[in-house]
């Protein structure tokens, strides 16, 4: 499991970008909603010139709502499966 560290201003929107292959059926999910952040949306990005089926990144757009430090936990799995194949922790400080 990898750890990322982010520091954002109160009220600021920010992105968490995680490597993904959308055509595999695996998607990243944000676990445990927090009252410190609001999930504004998710999207998938590919590099310019990428072919169909090439990997890219799943992007979570979030907004900081309260001051403090917390951890955001993401897992990558297929929606119909219980077992995750990958995880990512983001240490977030809202100042």
How far, in Å, CA of 13 to CA of 2, rounded?
A: 23
Residue 3: the pLDDT is: 80
HSE-CB for 26 with a 13 A CA cutoff? 18
Higher pLDDT, 54 or 5: 5
Q: What is the CA radius of gyration of the chain?
A: 14
CA separation (Å) from 79 to 26, 28, 84? 8, 10, 10
Q: What pLDDT, on the 0 to 100 scale, is given for residue 8?
A: 96
In CATH, what number is assigned to the domain containing residue 54?
2.60.40.2020
pLDDT in tens, 20-60: 876 778 899 999 777 889 999 998 887 666 656 666 889 99
Gap between the Cα atoms of 45 and 56, Å rounded:
6
Dist. CA 57–CA 15, nearest whole Å: 11
Structural domain count of the chain: 1
Domain range enclosing 29 = 2-94
pLDDT in tens, 61-90: 999 999 999 999 999 999 899 999 999 999
pLDDT for the residue numbered 53: 61
- The pLDDT value recorded for residue 91 is 95
This prediction has a pTM of 0.84
How many Cα atoms sit within 13 Å of 74 on the Cβ side?
Answer: 23
């Amino acid at each position: 499991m990898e750890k990322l560290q982010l520091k954002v201003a109160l009220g600021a929107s920010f992105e968490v970008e995680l490597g993904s292959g959308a055509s595999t059926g695996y998607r990243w999910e944000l676990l445990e909603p927090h009252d410190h952040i609001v999930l504004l949306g998710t999207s998938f990005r590919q590099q310019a010139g990428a072919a169909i089926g090439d990997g890219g990144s799943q992007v979570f757009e979030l907004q900081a709502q309260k001051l403090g430090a917390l951890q955001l936990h993401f897992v990558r799995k297929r929606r119909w499966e219980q077992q995750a194949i990958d995880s990512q922790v983001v240490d977030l400080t809202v100042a």
